[in-house]
Structure 1
């Protein structure tokens, strides 16, 4: 996947339209969405020139601040909104050009899970999952044959006769997932589906989504503001700000080397990604004879757990002070960030950075501290 502003996986010139359709389940091309002015508000440009693809069988995350355009984008994919300009293509069909009758048909191939579950309180777990099938006119025998395995899949076989009020938040979301899968969709849309859950429950739901993606080959488009969710499950990520995609690519590439200011702010809450406050408050852009240089070292792939600092001290004879950092996993790949400081002039800084470059590591000078 190539990283490009306003695009995930920009197609190479040699790729034909049919090859693109076979590779990507979702293609959003030049999409803008303007909500017209009303008596109480001016016109709002919610989306502006969006280009985005989601490969078949992938988990693609859309992240951004509140009001950035995330929810509008997902509503375009299932046809709840129509773009002002551009095309929204799902499995080769331009959703924006469909009649309401044809939209109802294509929505059966698009499952949706929500932040607040949207379960009917008067229906049991089984009947909530069965609802889309009842609406589609499926027989009761066939409904039983479809719903029972889904309840097994989401771990709720023993809760089939319970009502939503008797369930935990995580169990309610599992009902929502089973319901979304009942029509055997090709695409699953998740709109902040874990933001109302505690961290432990969130992880169990993410594990379930990853299993569904892996075992069913289901394409998932994930809208979220939770960076830990993206880091743990998404193959690809696009950052949306002010209605435009400002950075996009593989999750590992974007998280390990963010470029846009918005991306850096969004990632600031991820443990180990930012300089500790007690150091950041003392940081100066200019060096003095008494100051130490603060360096960010990025460990990726096979180097994420190497004893680099001990090797550096042994080879260069430099005492390095560790300020903070973490070793973690992004999209299944090891990744580490380490913040260090050491005394010395510009020549010593370059010696340290050159040594780290030879080890295959990236570095960034953040400033200087007394």
Structure 2
């Protein structure tokens, strides 16, 4: 649905001031009919990237292609046509306070010149779709944050777009409301076949909703692929840093602070065991105890779901003597269990 081809975007550079490079040679494809997330820290280039899709910004070089149309070549009339095919929802809702929920949803249709009866026929089902059939005559000041965002989603769908852009759409909401909005977006993606491209700094959002993810850092895409693959085995240090607090079992800081890279006599090995795919449903912990003996301690554990797939992790400790370490290593090799040695401690 969307292709970024060697896209660079610079700002400034006039009056003797150096240009700021917001995007630097971005190559990325967004699959039709899927949900793709773009994650990164503040200032990484996420918002600039998404604003190139509907022509709110223009690339300095490279191509942005949406459903076969190169955005940078469009004149104003072509951009208007494109924007009817690309809906957008915003972090702070961007509703007009003087218009009811119904009339906020109807606004893009009015601008397009649609007659009032056709507008009613289009908007009424959208109000029901987002679960606010009883709030159609309310003004934004009378709605909660989650309800305002639902109206924003309905407004974005009013022109029957092929692509929905989400610019930090849940970051102003509480966790419970965020979850309900994500469920709504998943339903829309599934039922309408709508392609969704979202940007966020919230790892939980991507983990819950996106099938594909790209990580952006300092204007470059540093890693991309299936959400499950990226989250369970991040390769780039930026991805590892972003995900460190979002995935898997967490060790208490008082344990982490005492870990050493090499064992001393009498120390124990602290090892993270990761369960997914074929290992997710096997009793491997019990088999590990049988292999190395009962002196195995479980220090932390977590069961999670990433892009609809199960993922679990345990942090265990056992004696760091050579015989035990060798038996454990042999067991991991035989079973295919993914492991990470976190360090050694008393």
Q: For this structure pair, what is the TM-score category when the shorter chain's length is used for normalisation?
A: over 0.9
Contact 1:272 1:324 in 2 (8 A): no
Of 279-288 and 224-233, the range deviating more from structure 2 = 279-288
Q: Residue 28 of structure 2: which of 52, 55, 74 is its match?
A: 52
Question: How many angstroms does 1:42 deviate by?
Answer: 3.4
Cα distance per residue 1:21-73 (max 9 Å; x no partner):
xxxx0111111111123569632110111110111110000000000000000
Alignment match, 2:70: 94
Q: Residue 120 of structure 1: which of 92, 96, 105 is its match?
A: 96
In structure 1, distance between residues paired with 2:249 and 2:237: 14
Question: How many angstroms does 1:351 deviate by?
Answer: 2.3
Contact 1:58 1:235 in 2 (8 A): yes
Contact 2:96 2:104 in 1 (8 A): yes
Number of equivalenced pairs: 346
In structure 1, distance between residues paired with 2:72 and 2:250: 42
* TM-score, normalised by the number of residues in structure 1: 0.90
Alignment match, 1:279: 255
The within-5 A match list for 1:1-370 is 25-37=1-13, 42-270=18-246, 272-370=248-346
Contact 2:301 2:315 in 1 (8 A): yes
Alignment match, 1:5: none
Contact 1:318 1:342 in 2 (8 A): no
Query: SS of the residue aligned with 2:150?
Result: helix
Contact 1:76 1:82 in 2 (8 A): yes
Cα distance per residue 1:220-278 (max 9 Å; x no partner):
00100101111110000001001101111100000011111111111122153544322
Contact 2:249 2:315 in 1 (8 A): no
Question: How many angstroms does 1:297 deviate by?
Answer: 1.1
* TM-score, normalised by the number of residues in structure 2: 0.97
In structure 1, distance between residues paired with 2:26 and 2:67: 18
Query: SS of the residue aligned with 1:65?
Result: coil
Contact 1:111 1:189 in 2 (8 A): yes
* Unmatched tracts of structure 1, length 5 or more: 1-24
